[in-house]
Structures are given as structure tokens and as C-alpha cells.
Structure 1
Amino acid sequence: MNKLTQFWDNLRSGFWFLPFLIVLSSIVYVVILIQMDYAGGNRWLAQWPRVFGVTAEGARDMLSTLASSMMSVMGITFSMTLLALALASSQYTSRVLRNFMRSRVTQVTLGTFAGIFVYCLIVMHTIRTGDALFVPSMAVFFAFILSFGGIAVLIFFIHHIASSIQASTIIASVAHETIASINRLLPEKQDYEADEDESQNPIIDSLDERTWYPVPSVVSGYIESVNNDALLHLAEDIRTIVRMEHGIGAFVVQDTALVSLALTYPPDQSTVDALNAAYSIGRHRSVEQDPAFGIRQIVDMAIKALSPGVNDTSTAVMCVDYLTSIMVQLAGRKFPSSHRYKGETLRVVAIVPSFEGLLAEAFDQIRGSAETNVAILARMLSAFNTIGSMAIRPSHIRALNEQLRYIEEVVDRCIEASHDRAPLEKRLSEVRETLEIQSTSFAGKVSSS
């Protein structure tokens, strides 16, 4: 099922699929209209000669003009799209190009112009002169209507391109896609959750004592998704433990270990094939099962904005703001355990994301690129204050305190002006107070339970 989902996502990400469907629908529609004209629609339309009356030569001229116009406009649309892709890649990051290619507006626009072009060609082919005179008046009139629709689509497309290359639109789009992935993968929310301690589990302690046989990957690429249910059932069927060697979003090299099995004998080929079939490996990462990739895209945009060649603090501030909204969503979610059981038996040791890891992914590199940027440091402190107020586990507070300590080191080392240091130190104190209040609240919940 994961492979089908990934295949569908790849189709949606291409320029060709939706335009191809629109062209097919235009062919079906024109065939229906021409058949209606053959079946007597001309006699019915003859009652309105001022609207539907047109000679064969006039119909051909009009359709030829419309077809050539649609091809010209489609070329302009392709040029505008490629220009937007080049601008987004150079100004922000090449990782956001996939979002542009998935744009429904762009795909529908290309499909509309291509569909009108094909429609006009087919109608022109059916026009007959001489003794077998036939002019599909209904189809010709509808081509005239489609031309007005094409003009409306072109105007809306120009508006869409102008707004889609704005930094705020791109960042918001990536953040929305990332939050949607979080809602899908981590739907369970909690108010408070104690830290798990699996270190005392004797089954887990004995894992290093087992004999592990690696299962090689059949291809190289990024792990886009994993069918966890298939891994669990397979581990139960062969009565073993499956240990993931790479998590979602990681790059795996062909013939290197994809997973390892706790067996007393090497796995057979059918087992190797079944384990590889549970993984979807492609040429690029996807946000569908990898929210960290959405965070990575926003971080890349922030780093690009903070580079000396761009020096766009406002864009970097927006990136921090949207990263804050993503981390607030993650702060209230229950993350899956890395150890998965079937009944009372451990079957899968997975590599799963954690709040602490995603927090570091979101802010570490931005902090390194903004060591002397007071606005970004202040915004990051505000972000930690907001995230800390929504934290549900003591480990979240520890991770935020660690980030706070890093910021404090940067302020001490890089911010020399007293008028810049003072507001940052005040903000640091406010965040410490928030985290301390949250820690006290956790302690009270533990004692009451």
C-alpha cells in the first residue's frame, strides 16, 4: 500500500499527468459534441443562426486561429513556469522545486491550453465542404467558449506565479505540508507524558548478545516510506526480530544493510525480497512519511537567506516563525516507540523520529548562521519560549534548555555591543523562567500520580 501511495504522489508531482488527463477528457468531450452534431444537433441549432451559424471556411479559420493561439500561450506558460523554478532554486533552495511541480494551478493551466489545442484540431478535421458539407456547429461554438475560459485561466495563472514565488507563500506551503504529514503520522495528542525508560527491559538489554544477519538493499536511494505492518508480520512469521539500520529519509547504498535479523542462520532469498518490498526507496526525500524533510526545506531557506550574498533577515525570521509552529505541533504529539511488540514479544527495533532530534534539526544550523544577527537570535528565543509552554515531557524541557545554553554561548561570544546584549539577556531570562515553570508543573504531576 505504501508503494501505491508513493507512486500516486510521484504522479501528482509531475507536470505531465494531470495535463494528460485534461487532454484525454477534451478528446472525449469533442467526440461527444461532434456525434451530437451528426445526430441532428445542426437542425436544432439552425433556429439560432446568428449564434451558431458559421460557414465551413469561417469555422476552419477560427479554429486555426484558436489552435495557434493556444500553442503560443502554452509556450509562454512553460517559460513562466521554468523561470519561476529557476528563481526559486537560486533564491531559496532546490528542494522546494517539487512543491512548484505539484502545483495544481500550473498543471491545470498547462492541461487547459493543451486540451483546447487538441480540441480545435479534432473539430477542424471533421469539417467537410462540397457535396458532403458538414460543420459541427455545436463543437465550433463550444471552442469559442473554451477560448474565453483559456483567457481567464491565463490571467489567474499570472496571478498565481506572481504570488507563488514570494518567500512567505513558499515557506507557508512547506509548513502546511509538513504539519499535514505530522497530523497523519502522529495523530495522537497528549497533555502530559512521562519519559519512557526502556533501559531496564531485560529483552532490550539482551539485543546486543544476539547474532544479527544483515539484509542488503537491492537499490540505492532515499528511504521514502516503510510499511511497518509488513515488517511486524514478517518478523512474527519467521519468529525473529527485525532491526532497522536506516530510518525514513536516510540514504541507503545498494548491497549494504537495510535491516538486520536476529537469526541463528542466514535469511533465505524470499525473506530478503519481502523485507525490501516493505521499503519504498527513491531518488529524493518526500514529506509524506518524513516531516523532518519539511523542516529541512525551511532550514535551507533560512540558511540561504542568512548567507552574505543574500542577507535577507526578514525571510529568515519567517522561517523561524513557521519552524516554531511545526515544533509546537510536535510538542503535543505522542511519538511512536522504537521497540514494537506482537503480544508480549519484541518483533521490530525501529528508527523513529524524536522531538529532541527534530528540534536540533530545526534550529542548530540556523543558530550557526546567525551568530551575529540579533533579530534571528531574539526570534529563536521567542520560539523556545512558545515551544516550552506547550511541552508535554521532561525530555522536551531538557532539549530546550540545551538549545538555550547554546544561544547563551553565542551571545557571550559574538554579541559585543551592550545595547544588543541587554534585550537578548532579558529574553534568555524570560525563557528560563517559562521552562522552570513547566518543569515545576511536571514535578507536581508526577508527585500527584
Structure 2
Amino acid sequence: MHNFIFRWITKLRQNYWFWPSVMTVCAVLLGFVLPYLDARVGSDWIREAGFVRTIEVDGARAILTTLATATLGVAGVAFSVTIVAVSFASSNYGPRLIGNFMADRKNQVILGIFVATFVYCITVLTTVHASTETPGTTLDAFVPHLSLYFALLLTLAAVGALIAYIHHIPESINIMNLTAEIGAKLQSSVIRMLDEEDSRMRDTPDAHHMDVEAWFEEPQADDAHVVRAEVTGFVQKFDLENLAALALKNGIQIVLHRSPGDFVVMGETVLSTRPARSGAGAIDRQMRDCFTQGDNRTDAQDILFLSDQLVEVLGRALSPGINDPRTAMLCLDWLRAGLVAFAARPPSQPAKSDDPVLYRRVAFEDMLNRSFAEMRQCVATNRTVTLQAMDVLTDIAQASFQEPMARACVQQICQLAGSAMELLDESVAREEIATELKRALQAVAAGGAHCRDPIADHAAPD
């Protein structure tokens, strides 16, 4: 059940049709309920209210038809603009960022207003009828005035939504807003992850362990029961609370051999239990329900997915076809925000050998080395971005809580400087890199004695 619920919640977040569909169903219901209330209330209130004029059948039909046609046309234009924006973002920022646009709640609600207004007008239009006489039956003319005025209110809402949509679309593809959204999410995810790890250390029951990494230990055939993937796809989430409860209840230890974000082929090992028991297969289905696989990576527990997105935008910005170093520098700034939040806190405690669930916690060095190792070759070809990256690494090192964190930053500074010295052709640029390297190492050393040892291990490139 957990697997099913999480998979559908993830799909609903990234599906463009969910909120428009919900609003359309509500519009259909209102299209029948309001005319029913009109019929019960009658039209006497119109004569008592002097500022409201009675609308005839032909006029009501003309109003509803015009409103429905106009809103449907605007909905088509809005959909086309959305496709253009998604196409632009995919080609310039990377296809992995399409999910950010598809999950944009504002776009979904605005499109839902247009479609719901159209459907409501059509539904109310079916209730408008002129007086007719059939053998034995006389049907009086019916114009649902309350429903008509509500249709006008919906149209005004659609006009406001159109104005908001015209303002929102350029904002959503603005690279500054896009990187700010990803960077802020990365920073908040890091802080939440570390807070939840602190809660776990205090034995609070509501810790959710977002920092999940694989436990790099192969299961032994003679003492482990292996749980293999039934489908092919990305691991998206582990339900660690239920896994721990299963382990304690059955007297076993569960080992996670994969982490969120890993691509697993059907038949590969995901979990294992030890020691192996004759009844271990009985809880096999329960353990399978404690992890979710899907076609896409998500940021639910895969915190490195957010840093990977910033690195992808940075790499595309520095590609020859785009050549936008300012965007690359913007990505570095927001990556620094997440890494500083990580470096300024004590690292996660390693798993104990007797823990019910064994998995490795994501470390600061994991995010730092993964991000800068992937971007190094791109950054080192640009003098300006290289200097910015070295400055960012210096700031992170100075904010580091422990010596290994600062040492990892110094190592990345020296590797980046070495790559830049090899790839940059201009002698002046190489001299600037060497000067910045010396300054960065001195700045890190001045921040505390714990940074002096790693500095001594690295020499500036010739």
C-alpha cells in the first residue's frame, strides 16, 4: 500500500491533468446544482432587485455560448504557450528539469480555470430552454439567472487568470528564478535531512531518515535472504520506519544494498535480511512494499538529485552552443547555499552493527565530490567561472564543521586549479588561477588550525 500511495502521489505532482480534471468535475456538478437552485428560487427576486435585468432565453444562450467559446480559445492558447515554455526549458536548461514545469501548481490551476469555465457554461446551456407545448404537457421557459451571473464571475476569474498566466510564464523560465527554486529546495532539504537525523539520534519516533545511501556490502548466500527488484526503474523511496519495525518483529537485520536514485534492473538485489530464516519469504512481500521504484528520480529521499540538477544547468550554460558563464556562476552560488548548510552541521553518525536497518548516511563529501567532479572539466575551460568556483569552495571550507570537510574542499580547489592550468591557453589566466589558489589556501588556513594539514598536502600547479 505504501508503494502504491507514494507512486501515485509522485505522479499526481508531475501530471498536468490532475487539477484541471478536479476543477472540471466540480464545474460539471455546479452546472447542474446551480440551475436546480435557480428553479427552486424562481425569478421573483429579479423584479425586486431593480439593478438586475431579466434575461430572455435567446440572450442566455448567446451569453453562455460566447463565454464558452472565448474561454476554450484562451485555454488552447495557454496550452500552446506552456508547450513552448517547456520546450525552451528542455533545450536550454536540460530535459531533467521538465518535471519542475509540469509540477508547477500555478499553471495547472490557471488551465483548470479556463477548462472549468468552458465546461460550466456548456453544462448550464443544456438547462436553458424555451416554452414548449406537447400533447398533455406544457413546459415553461427556463433561464437560470443565478447560474448565468455565476458564469460571468467565472469569466472574470478567467480574465484574471490570463493576466496572472502572462506574468507567470516568463517568470517560470527565468533562469534566476529557476536556479533559485532548485537551490532553495536543496538548502531546505539539507537542513530538514540533518534535523531529522538529529531527531533519530534523540530516539524520537518521527524521524524519517531522508539521507539514505546504499550499504556497500554484498549479501552472503549462506546467511542472507535476498529481496530482488520485480521491475526495472529508479529506486525512489524507502520506508525505513516500517522496515525497522519488520526487522525488530521478526528478529532479523535488513540491509539496504541500493539507495534512492539508483537505477535497478529487474532481478537485481535491493534488500537482504540476515540471518536467513526459513520463514523469511513470508515477509518478502511486506519488505517489497517498503520501497518504491519508478521511471524518474525524485527528491523525496534522493537529495543528490537536486544538486545534480544545478550541475546540469551549469554544464549546459558552459556548452559552446550557449556559452553563458553568468548562469554557471549563479548555479555555483546556489550550490554553495546547500553545501554550506551541510558543512556547518555535525556529520551524520555511522550505522551501528546492531541497527535493525543498515544503510549509509549521505555525507557532505558525497555531495561535494559528486558535484564538483562532474562539473570540473566544464568549469576549468572558463577563467571567470573557475575563479568563482574556487571562491565558492573557499567559502564552504571556511564554514566547515570538521577537518575532513575542509580537506575535501581543499582537494577540490587544487584539482580544479590543476585542470584549469592545463586547459586554459592564456598565460595571464593561468597566473590568475595560481594566485587565486594561493589566496584560497591561505584563507582556509586562516579559518582554523584544522585546515592546515590538508593545505600542506597540496602544492600550487606550476
Normalised by the length of structure 2, the TM-score is 0.86
Q: What corresponds to 1:155 in structure 2?
A: 163
Give the aligned partner of residue 394 of structure 2: 385
How far did 1:21 drift? 1.6
Indicate the residue corresponding to 2:410 in structure 1. 401
Q: Deviations over 1:256-315 (max 9, x none)?
A: 111122224566332221221110111100012111001111111111111112211111
Per-residue Cα deviation, 1:72-120 (whole angstroms, up to 9, x for no partner)? 1111111111111111111111111111011111101110011101110
Instruction: Check the 8 A contact 1:67/1:120 in 2, yes or no.
Output: yes
Deviates more, 1:403-412 or 1:2-11: 2-11
8 Å CA contact 1:394, 1:439 repeated in 2: no
1:13 and 1:388 map into 2 onto residues whose CA distance is: 37
Residue in structure 2 matched with residue 176 of structure 1 by the alignment: 184
CA distance in 2: counterparts of 1:49 and 1:87, whole angstroms:
53
Partner of 1:194: none
Letter in 2 for 1:132: D
- Unpaired segments ≥5 residues, structure 2: 132-138, 199-215, 453-462
Map 1:73-112 → 2, pairs under 5 A: 73-112=74-113
Aligned counterpart, 1:249: 261
Q: Secondary structure at the match of 1:412?
A: helix
Question: 2 CA distance for matches of 1:163 and 1:234?
Answer: 47
**Superposition deviation, residue 215 in structure 1:** 1.8
Match of 2:446 in 1: 437
CA 406–209 in structure 1, closer or farther in 2 if over 3 Å, else same:
farther
Would the aligned equivalents of 1:213 and 1:267 in 2 still touch at CA under 8 Å? no
Query: How far has the Cα of 1:236 moved from its partner?
Result: 2.1
Moved more, 151-160 or 38-47: 38-47
* Aligned residue in 2 for 1:351: 360
Q: Which moves more between the two structures, 178-187 or 298-307?
A: 178-187
In the TM superposition, 1:272-421 aligns within 5 A as 272-340=284-352, 345-421=354-430
Q: Give the whole-Å Cα distance in 2 for the aligned partners of 1:21 and 1:333.
A: 43
Contact 2:235 2:262 in 1 (8 A): yes
Q: Is the 8 A contact 1:222 1:282 kept in 2?
A: yes
The CA deviation at 1:378 is: 0.6
Deviates more, 1:38-47 or 1:104-113: 38-47
Answer with 47-56 or 278-287: which moved more: 47-56
Contact kept? 2:329, 2:385, Cα under 8 Å: yes
**Matched residue SS, 1:51:** coil
User: Which one is further off, 172-181 or 46-55?
Assistant: 46-55
The separation in 2 between residues aligned to 1:250 and 1:37, in whole angstroms, is 58
Aligned-pair CA distance for 1:338: 4.5
Q: Which residue of 2 aligns with 1:39?
A: 40
Change over 3 Å in CA distance of 1:81–1:105 after alignment to 2: same
Report the alpha carbon displacement of residue 230 of structure 1 after superposing the two structures with TM. Answer: 1.7
Residue 71 of structure 1: aligned partner: 72
Q: 1:46 to 1:289 in 2, by over 3 A?
A: farther
Which whole-Å CA distance do the structure 2 matches of 1:167 and 1:372 have between them?
22
**Residues 116-172 of structure 1, C-alpha deviations (whole Å, 9 max, x = no match):** 011101111111211511111111112122212211111211111112112112211
Determine the structure 1 residue equivalent to 2:455. none
Question: Taking structure 1 as reference, are residues 28 and 184 closer, same or farther at Cα in structure 2, changes over 3 Å only?
Answer: farther
Shift of 1:423: 3.0
Please, which moves more after superposition, 405-414 or 28-37? 28-37
| 1:140 is the counterpart of 2:139 | no
CA contact (8 A) 1:23 1:115 kept: yes
1:173 is aligned with what amino acid? E
Contact 1:331 1:391 in 2 (8 A): yes
1:260 partner SS:
strand
Q: Distance in 1 between matches of 2:315 and 2:297?
A: 19
Where does the alignment leave 5 or more consecutive residues of structure 1 unmatched?
A: 191-203, 444-449
Q: Secondary structure at the match of 1:287?
A: coil
Moved more, 30-39 or 281-290: 30-39
Aligned-residue offset at 1:27: 2.9
Residue 243 of structure 2 is matched in structure 1 by: 231
Distance in 2, Cα, partners of 1:188 & 1:232: 16
Q: CA deviation at 1:41?
A: 4.7
1:321-346 deviation digits (Å, cap 9, x = unpaired): 111111112212445445257xxx33
One of 200, 209, 212 as aligned partner of 2:224: 212
* Alignment correspondent of 2:18: 17
TM-aligned CA deviation for residue 231 of structure 1: 1.8
Computed over aligned residues only, the root mean square deviation of the Cα atoms, in angstroms, reads 2.6
2:437 aligned to which of 428, 431, 434: 428
Kindly tell me the number of residue pairs found equivalent between the two proteins.
Answer: 427
Q: Contact 1:189/1:333 (CA < 8 Å) preserved in 2?
A: no
Q: Is the 8 A contact 2:254 2:356 kept in 1?
A: yes
What percent identity do the matched residue pairs reach? Answer: 26
Deviation of the 1:6 alpha carbon: 4.7
